Structure 1
Amino acid sequence: MRPPDAPVLPSYGTTGNERLVLAALRGGAVLSRAELSATTGLPKTTVTGIANRLLQRGMVVEHTADSGRQHRGRGRPASGLTLADTGGLVAALCFSHTTIRAAAVGWDGTFAASRTSDIGKDRDQQRVLDRGLRLLAEAFAETGSTPEQADLAVVGVPAAFEQGVGAVFDQLPDAARTAVPELAKLFGWFRSDPVPIVTERLGIPTTAENYANLAALGEATAGAGRGMDDIIYIKLVEGVGAGLILGGRLHRGARGLAGELAHVQVLPDGRSCLCGSRGCLAATYGGFVESIGRSAYPEPLTFADMRELATAGDVGTRRIMADLGRGFGRALADVCVMLSPEAIIVDGMLGAAAEPFLAGMRDAIDRRMPNVLAQSLQLLPGVLGERADMLGAVAIARTGQLPAATSTR
Structure 2
Amino acid sequence: MRTSINKNGSDASGLNLPPHGLQDSPRRTSIKGLGIFILICILGAGLLYIDQNTSPRPAWEWKPQPFDPPVQYAFIPEDPKCPSRPPDSTEEETKPPLIACNEWRLHANFKLGKGRHDIGVPFGVGCGGRRGGVSVSDDDCTSDIQLFDAASQVQLSDGKQRSGALRITRDGHRIAYLSKKYMQFVGWDLPTAQQKAISPRVDAQALEDLSSLEISPDGKFFAVSFAGTQPRLLVTEFATGRTTTLQGFCAILGISQGASRIAAQRTCSDPNEADTVTILKRDGTVISEWRGTDSIENLSPDGKSIVEIQTDFGDDGDEYLATRNALTEKLTKKLKLHLLSEPSDAVGHAWLTNDEYIVEAETPEPGGSFGYYRVNVKSGSSRRIRDLGLNPGSTVSLGSVLARD
TM range (shorter): under 0.3
TM-score (norm 2): 0.26
Name whichever structure is richer in helix by fraction.
1
TM-score relative to the length of structure 1 = 0.26
